[in-house]
Chain A
Amino acid sequence: MRSATFLTVTTKILILVGLSVGLSLRATSAAAATPDEPASAAGREVTAPDAETIGWIFYDRAGLTPPLEDWARKDVERASREYKSPINEFNRDEYVENAKARLAKQFAAAKGVSEIRLELSGQLSDYDTEYEEFYIDVFKPGSFLSFKSRDETFTLKLTNAMAAYTWKVPKEQAMKIVQRVGSGWRSVKVSAQFRIVDASPTNGGGTLNMEAVGYTVLSSSGVPLGTVEIAKK
């Protein structure tokens, strides 16, 4: 597993919503990419994608054509309402064409992405002495990550949540981990790699089903506590 390199970038809050029991956990995702500079898909892995990039990845994986013309026009209309905007009816079409080209470039950059790496904030459970494992709440079965972009909601769901949720650790090592994490909320960071399984449209967005490939658990100050590789079924 490659080491995470995006721990220092600005983070933004996403909501991790419990499916059925109304849980509401907070997770953070490093937002390295911006709409103008989409995360690179080089190596078919994108690190810390923002919501718009997630949208592009969804459209690509679902085999759908994004309405670039419509989005470009809306972007330009929004920009033209800004105070002292240089956009007017004489140059609006030109701005729309430029915006469309920019969007097409972003979409192209997201094509072929097969893996996503995210940094998530979570909590470490008490050590389970019966099964010799911790539970990592960010992978709690039924949870999902939600990204909103352009009035659309894209949901990232795990197909192997239970495998990721349980972190097997021998008792001696667990005691050291607990000492490092400290008392209180036992906050940890999780740098996780996901493989995209498939994409399916929903009303007002879509779902990216993903498989956790592996993750590194770090203390809140960034000290690695352990790495997990999840066996493929």
Chain B
Amino acid sequence: MKDRFSTMALVLGLGMIAACSSGDSSTGHTTEVAVAAAGAGAPSAKPRAEETAPAGQAGSKPLAPGEGEGTTMPVKCPPEPSVPPRADGAPTDDILDLRPGMSFDDVVAISLCRDPKLRVDVDDRWHVSDTHGIETRQIVRVSDGEECSGQDIVADMRNSSDICSGGDFKAVKNATDQIFVAFNGVPEKEVAGAIWRSRTFAKDARPTVADLQKSLAEKYGEPHETRERNSELELAWTYDPLGRRMSKSNPALQDCRFSVSASYAGRHRWSADCGLTINARIDLDRQNPLLADALHVAVMQQKEFIEGTERFEEDLRTESRRQNEMEAEKAVKPEVKL
């Protein structure tokens, strides 16, 4: 679907961002295996205070195809999210400090302060296809992968090796940690609604399934539901729109539980009668099911995402009308003889 989903490359190359957390990549990448490393509301990485790093033009202005690559814009570390901290007693709703409700800039800043080597790619389409010609930033990928060259892709196809992957984004290889964030909102007013993380483990660094379960429980609480099938262990935390653990008597439970795939690459369905949902999936090693090959986690505020999408679509219509009127005003008005 590349024709419809034109990827706006917003590559934050390795050399472009240097200072943000030069001493912090260790906290960023060596502790994240345990999901609880981020803690409930605690920063997962602690960059040195008040450092400023050039970090591409991510989040600095509305993106347009071909615009931005190589441009620099400071990202302040530690980041100062534009949303208030989670309310006391509210369920944990973050993945590595990324939470629904955050702005595009928040997401980029938090990600890059965690690890400045990560690359950020933006795609303009995810769930709203009719944008009335307005360039949007609906989905962001934050990845530790390396961009595949043309030769890589050719070799991949020739050998059917599946080394390069990317879907609607630029293909990358050797990715072990990828985050995807879906947004509602016209440019510069984006609001994060759903966050996914997929972490794959090298053969010699696989955590135990039990440790991952423990880490997940420490972060999100005891899972509301756990199920195992096809070498996968799935865990779900399902809340109603009032922020309460969804009761088994709630007719919406069947619609809400496991409705958003833990993996971004899976199938997702969301509904206005669901609140916060957290879904995790541990891919078990086929030889030794006590060890994990990968961990996938998804967080979504479903009701807010649906309402946000309605506002997004309305704002797009309004913005389109405004742009049309401006264009008509500025247009050269030749005399038309009839």
Counting contact residues on chain A (CB < 8 A from B), the size range is: 20 to 34
Residue from B248, B250, B255, B306 within 8 A of A135 (CB atoms): B250
Residue from A21, A128, A137, A162 within 8 A of B269 (CB atoms): A21
A179 surroundings in chain B (CB, below 8 A)? none
**Separation of A125 and B314 alpha carbons in the complex (Å):** 34
**Separation of A129 and B269 alpha carbons in the complex (Å):** 28
A-side interface mostly: loop
> 1/0 contact trace for B269-285 toward A, CB 8 Å?
11111000000000000
Is B202 on the interface with A (CB-CB < 8 A)?
no
Inter-chain contact A162/B241, CB cutoff 8 Å: yes
**Separation of A21 and B271 alpha carbons in the complex (Å):** 6
Inter-chain contact B270/A20, CB cutoff 8 Å: yes
Counting contact residues on chain B (CB < 8 A from A), the size range is: 10 to 19
A200 surroundings in chain B (CB, below 8 A)? 314
A125 closest partner in B (C-beta): B251
**Separation of A173 and B31 alpha carbons in the complex (Å):** 52
From known contacts A141-B241, A141-B303, infer whether A128 and B249 are also in contact, taking CB-CB under 8 Å.
Answer: yes
> 1/0 contact trace for A152-167 toward B, CB 8 Å?
0000000001100110
Inter-chain contact B272/A131, CB cutoff 8 Å: no
Can you list 5 contacts pairing A with B, beta carbon distance less than 8 Å? A127-B249, A128-B247, A162-B242, A162-B303, A166-B242
B249 closest partner in A (C-beta): A128
> 1/0 contact trace for A132-158 toward B, CB 8 Å?
000101001110000000000000000
**Separation of A20 and B268 alpha carbons in the complex (Å):** 11
B241 surroundings in chain A (CB, below 8 A)? 141, 162
- Which chain B residues numbered 235 to 281 have a C-beta less than 8 Å away from chain A? 240-242, 244, 247-252, 255, 269-273
From known contacts A131-B244, A141-B303, A162-B241, infer whether A19 and B272 are also in contact, taking CB-CB under 8 Å.
Answer: yes
**Separation of A141 and B271 alpha carbons in the complex (Å):** 8
Question: Smallest CB–CB gap between A150 and chain B, Å?
Answer: 22
Inter-chain contact A130/B272, CB cutoff 8 Å: no
Question: Smallest CB–CB gap between B326 and chain A, Å?
Answer: 21
Question: Smallest CB–CB gap between A58 and chain B, Å?
Answer: 16
B271 closest partner in A (C-beta): A21
Question: Smallest CB–CB gap between B251 and chain A, Å?
Answer: 5
Is A93 on the interface with B (CB-CB < 8 A)?
no
A: residues with CB less than 8 A from B are 18-21, 125-131, 135, 137, 140-142, 161-162, 165-166, 200
Inter-chain contact B244/A20, CB cutoff 8 Å: no
Inter-chain contact B247/A130, CB cutoff 8 Å: yes
**Separation of A142 and B314 alpha carbons in the complex (Å):** 17
Identify 15 new A-B residue pairs, CB closer than 8 A, beyond the known A128-B250, A140-B251. A20-B270, A20-B271, A20-B306, A21-B255, A21-B269, A125-B250, A125-B251, A131-B244, A135-B250, A140-B273, A141-B241, A141-B273, A162-B241, A162-B303, A166-B242
Inter-chain contact A20/B247, CB cutoff 8 Å: no
From known contacts A141-B241, A142-B273, infer whether A19 and B306 are also in contact, taking CB-CB under 8 Å.
Answer: yes
B303 closest partner in A (C-beta): A141
**Separation of A200 and B271 alpha carbons in the complex (Å):** 23
Question: Smallest CB–CB gap between A115 and chain B, Å?
Answer: 24
Inter-chain contact A125/B306, CB cutoff 8 Å: no
**Separation of A21 and B302 alpha carbons in the complex (Å):** 12
Question: Smallest CB–CB gap between B114 and chain A, Å?
Answer: 32
B251 closest partner in A (C-beta): A125
Inter-chain contact A142/B250, CB cutoff 8 Å: no
From known contacts A125-B249, A130-B249, infer whether A19 and B271 are also in contact, taking CB-CB under 8 Å.
Answer: yes
A19 surroundings in chain B (CB, below 8 A)? 271-272, 306
**Separation of A140 and B270 alpha carbons in the complex (Å):** 14
- Which chain B residues numbered 287 to 338 have a C-beta less than 8 Å away from chain A? 303, 306, 314
B255 surroundings in chain A (CB, below 8 A)? 21
B247 surroundings in chain A (CB, below 8 A)? 128, 130-131
List the 5 closest A-B pairs by CB distance, nearest first. A142-B272, A128-B249, A141-B272, A141-B273, A21-B271
B248 surroundings in chain A (CB, below 8 A)? 130
Question: Smallest CB–CB gap between A6 and chain B, Å?
Answer: 28
B271 surroundings in chain A (CB, below 8 A)? 18-21, 142
B251 surroundings in chain A (CB, below 8 A)? 125, 135, 137, 140
B270 surroundings in chain A (CB, below 8 A)? 20
A130 surroundings in chain B (CB, below 8 A)? 247-249
A20 surroundings in chain B (CB, below 8 A)? 269-272, 306
Question: Smallest CB–CB gap between B269 and chain A, Å?
Answer: 7
**Separation of A128 and B248 alpha carbons in the complex (Å):** 8
Inter-chain contact B252/A140, CB cutoff 8 Å: yes
Question: Smallest CB–CB gap between A64 and chain B, Å?
Answer: 16
B272 closest partner in A (C-beta): A142
B314 surroundings in chain A (CB, below 8 A)? 200
A166 surroundings in chain B (CB, below 8 A)? 242
A140 surroundings in chain B (CB, below 8 A)? 251-252, 273
Question: Smallest CB–CB gap between B313 and chain A, Å?
Answer: 10
Question: Smallest CB–CB gap between A170 and chain B, Å?
Answer: 16
